[in-house]
Amino acid sequence: MSKIIGLTGGIGSGKTTLATYMQSLGIPVFIADEEAKKLMQSAEVLRKIQAVFGEVVFKNGQLNRQELASIVFAKPEKLNQLNGIIHPVVKKQFKIWLDQHQSAPFVVYEAAILFESGSYQNCDAIITITAPLEDRIVRVMQRDNSSREQVLNRINAQWTDAQRAAKSNFVIENIEPKIAKLQFDEILKILKIQQNEG
């Protein structure tokens, strides 16, 4: 049975960089946000989104992600409604994926809202990645072509670093990616020792 390592952190903290590094070490990584994007194309999910949010989030029959994002990140109750549609299907998909990676000693479940979604309850260990707020804002503005205000709305819709760190087994401070990777190497050593003892 694979041990599930939860990997989380606020938007722009550098989760994807670290997840890619983990994959390079041969550790299977399930990126919940990417899976959610794929699953949002399914007829079943689109039907539910349409029922809750109406035609306003569709353009020429296609889901208008930017419009949906501007609604959900401005109103917490709308974000909860969207998460209520997406999380059950992502959870189902993860179970299928996990069955396919049973031979791996560790697998990583990477999710920005690991705690908010309740997914942390299935993890054997949790790593939170933190980064200075200003670095995060700049990274996301460059990556998504977003305004500062849009990025701050998304940051404010998530848990704080302190909230996540308090519920995590390990915290990696991602100021310099090279050092963050070394921190993960040390965590992996600890996890391997724990697994051998267990």
Start-to-end C-alpha separation, the chain = 12
* 61 falls within a domain: yes
Task: Look at residue 198 in the predicted model and tell me its pLDDT.
Answer: 66
| DSSP-based three-state secondary structure for 43 | helix
**Nearest-angstrom CA–CA distance, 190 and 169:** 11
H or E element that contains 58: strand 58-59
Dihedral (CA of 5, 93, 157, 16) sign:
positive
Q: Is residue 43 part of a domain?
A: yes
- Three-state secondary structure call for residue 6: strand
- Do residues 172 and 128 lie in contact, with contact meaning Cβ atoms separated by under 8 Å? yes
User: Which amino acids are annotated as binding site, given as ranges?
Assistant: 12-17
pLDDT of 29 strictly over 90: yes
- CATH code, domain with 113: 3.40.50.300
Per the domain annotation, does 150 fall within a domain? yes
- pLDDT tens digits for range 52-92: 999 999 998 899 988 998 899 888 899 999 999 999 999 99
Whether residue 198 lies inside any domain: the answer is no
In a domain? residue 62: yes
Asked if the structure places residue 197 within a domain, the reply is: no
For residue 110, tell me if it sits in a domain: yes
> Looking at the 3D structure of the chain, how many domains does it have?
1
Q: Could you give the CA distance from residue 19 to residue 106 in angstroms, rounded to a whole number?
A: 13
pTM higher than the cut 0.75: yes
- Which residues participate in the annotated binding site for ATP? 12-17
Q: Which domain holds residue 17?
A: 3-192
Banded pLDDT at 163 (limits 50, 70, 90): very high
Is residue 31 situated within a structural domain?
yes
